[in-house]
A = this chain, B = another copy of it.
């Protein structure tokens, strides 16, 4: 076959990559220039072989006996996640959750550029939070379309989540990052990532009850 081979990294690997980026960013400040998977594994409590496999998905090559060039590895990791490009995003719902996300200024280094926020509360319209201006929700789909915004972040209450998602899809976003505690339905071509606190809490409470049983 002549088509370019599609390399699909396992989702668990992709979820670990930010850990490496965080570590390398810190080590870079300490002027580390080369480091081995053994060292990375030690720092993060992983197995070296897993680190090696994870890094392999970026296609970067290291130097036997030495390890990887830190800058090169960091760039490769950030490129793999597209964190070396800024992608425009809109955030909808400037309540406590939305403010928490907007306040999370690290997003720039994660390649996310929150262009504007939206809310249905008339008192918030026209004000700014953390430098981001707040617009009325009924402008949402039109502005997504005109500014060709690719990512929509949903931080509204559960009851509004589907309504907002539909507006985002109508406007033409390619991906939705949903923080509302409600499952939403979107067409299959839209990338949907949910952050459901209950999933994480379930693991915690179940483990805790098992521990108490012993």
Contact = CB atoms under 8 A, between A and B. Distances in A.
A122 interface: no
A180 to B, nearest CB: 11
Interface in A35-72: 44
Contacts of A99: 96, 99-100
A159 to B, nearest CB: 12
Interface string A74-91: 000000111101010000
Contact of A208 (B87, B196, B200): B87
Contact of A174 (B95, B200, B211): B211
Interface in A186-202: 191, 193-202
Given A197-B195, A201-B193, A208 B150 contact: yes
Contacts of A96: 96, 99-100, 102-103
A181 B81 contact: no
Give the number of copies in the complex. Answer: 2
A101 B101 CA distance: 12
Contact of A191 (B44, B177, B207): B207
A82 B18 contact: no
A204 interface: yes
A207 B201 CA distance: 26
Nearest to A19: B183
Interface of A: 9, 11, 14-19, 22, 44, 80-83, 85, 87, 95-97, 99-104, 106, 110-112, 150-151, 174-175, 177, 181, 183, 191, 193-209, 211
17 contacts: A14-B202, A14-B206, A18-B201, A22-B198, A44-B183, A87-B208, A97-B103, A100-B100, A104-B197, A106-B198, A174-B211, A177-B204, A191-B207, A193-B200, A193-B201, A195-B197, A195-B200
Given A82-B205, A191-B208, 4 more contacts: A18-B201, A81-B209, A85-B209, A110-B198
